[in-house]
């Protein structure tokens, strides 16, 4: 898609670019309350191992500043908060107030305070100074951003020299048989489960479509390079159903 055009993708639909932010907001307003439960059900719990691997690849250390971008209900923030310690800082940021409130409530109920702050923000216009964060993680959020190139440029801007950005996102399966099975699951079972568990088939139909419209592994790698990141690489997880991209700022 041409990011400069007047239209953009919302799943498989083409819509006026100015409408996407609101439509995505409506999706996540709808799914916020059962977001964590649905992640466990829909991924059979595998998303936890993807996220654990991402943290292991982050190089996080005590005293680091971490941005959990599009962090939703805060599962990354919870883990990073413990790893950066009292001298560190974790910022949970999401454009969607419903998701951010779920994350804030969840973390406060677990007693995770002190080194965590909550900021509602658009990934395309981050309200942070240049060269501020040691680590930025965006997990299953980039595909919902209207202008992905701009978001990546903003991530690069607020990252410190020597810092790293990690993008965990659904991607393109590397095996044809797996891709066929994944398509059947995504377009037939996923909306059905969404209807039964969350009473919302439409939002999960959109989520399945948004995955297919997201750039594949090599395309996203090039986008990160174009945004200014160095030494960009990626690792396929679960046969490419997801991919973890990493880039550095030098």
As a whole number, the mean pLDDT across the chain is 91
Structure tokens at 32: 């916020």
Residue 202 pLDDT exceeds 90: no
Residue 192 pLDDT: 85
In a domain, 71, yes or no: yes
Name the percent of the chain lying above pLDDT 70.
97
Residue 56 pLDDT exceeds 50: yes
36 versus 3: the higher-pLDDT residue is 36
Can you say which residues are annotated as belonging to the binding site? Answer: 73, 94, 122-123, 139
Residue 18 pLDDT: 87
In a domain, 8, yes or no: no
How many structural domains are present in the chain?
1
Residue 237 pLDDT: 97
pLDDT digits (tens, 9 = 90+) for 125-176: 999 999 999 999 999 999 999 999 999 999 999 999 999 999 999 999 999 9
CA distance 1 to 238: 27
In a domain, 7, yes or no: no
pLDDT digits (tens, 9 = 90+) for 222-244: 999 999 999 999 999 999 999 99
pLDDT band at 1 (very low <50, low <70, confident <90, very high): very low
In a domain, 183, yes or no: no
In a domain, 97, yes or no: yes
pLDDT digits (tens, 9 = 90+) for 109-120: 999 989 999 999
Q: What is the pTM assigned to this prediction?
A: 0.90
Helix (H) or strand (E) holding 163: strand 159-170
pLDDT band at 197 (very low <50, low <70, confident <90, very high): confident
Distances (CA, A) of 243 to 65, 120, 189: 24, 26, 22
Residue 29 pLDDT: 77
Q: How far apart are the first and last CA of the chain?
A: 29
In a domain, 42, yes or no: yes
Residue 35 pLDDT: 73
Can you say which residues are annotated as belonging to the binding site for S-adenosyl-L-methionine? Answer: 73, 94, 122-123, 139
pLDDT band at 23 (very low <50, low <70, confident <90, very high): confident
The CB density around residue 187, as the number of other CB atoms within 10 Å, is 14
Residue 196 pLDDT exceeds 60: yes
Residue 3 pLDDT: 44
In a domain, 180, yes or no: no
Domain assignment of residue 115, given as a range? 16-173+207-249
Secondary structure of the chain as H, E, C letters: CCCCCCEEEECCEEEEHHHHHHHHHHHHHHHHHHHHHHHHHHHCCHHHHHHHHHHHCCCCCCCCEEEEECCCCCHHHHHHHHHHCCCCEEEEEECCHHHHHHHHHHHHHCCCCCCEEEEECCCCCCCCCCCCEEEEEEECCHHHCCCHHHHHHHHHHHEEEEEEEEEEEECCCCCHHHHHHHHHHHHHHHHHHHHHHHCCHHHHHHHHHHHHHCCCHHHHHHHHHHCCCEEEEEEEECCCCEEEEEEECC
Q: What is the CATH number of the domain that holds 40?
A: 3.40.50.150
In a domain, 5, yes or no: no
């Amino acid at each position: 898609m041409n990011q400069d055009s007047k239209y953009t993708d919302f799943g498989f639909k083409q819509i006026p670019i100015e409408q996407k932010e609101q439509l995505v907001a409506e999706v996540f307003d709808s799914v916020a309350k059962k977001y964590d439960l649905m992640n466990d059900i829909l991924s059979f719990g595998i998303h936890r191992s993807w996220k654990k691997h991402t943290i292991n690849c982050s190089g996080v250390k005590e005293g680091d500043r971490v941005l959990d971008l599009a962090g939703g209900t805060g599962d990354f923030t919870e883990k990073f908060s413990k790893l950066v310690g009292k001298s560190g800082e974790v910022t949970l940021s999401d454009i969607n107030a419903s998701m951010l409130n779920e994350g804030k409530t969840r973390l406060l109920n677990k007693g995770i305070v002190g080194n965590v702050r909550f900021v509602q923000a658009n990934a395309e216009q981050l309200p942070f100074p240049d060269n501020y964060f040691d680590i930025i993680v965006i997990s299953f959020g980039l595909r919902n951003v209207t202008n992905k190139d701009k978001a990546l440029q903003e991530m690069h801007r607020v990252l410190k020299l020597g810092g790293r950005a990690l993008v965990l996102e659904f991607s393109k399966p590397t095996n044809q048989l797996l891709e066929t099975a994944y398509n059947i699951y995504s377009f037939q079972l996923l909306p059905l489960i969404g209807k039964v568990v969350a009473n919302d088939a439409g939002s999960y139909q959109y989520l399945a479509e948004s995955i297919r419209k997201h750039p594949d592994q090599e395309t996203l790698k090039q986008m990160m390079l174009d945004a200014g990141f160095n030494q960009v690489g990626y690792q396929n997880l679960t046969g490419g159903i997801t991919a973890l991209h990493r880039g550095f700022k030098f």
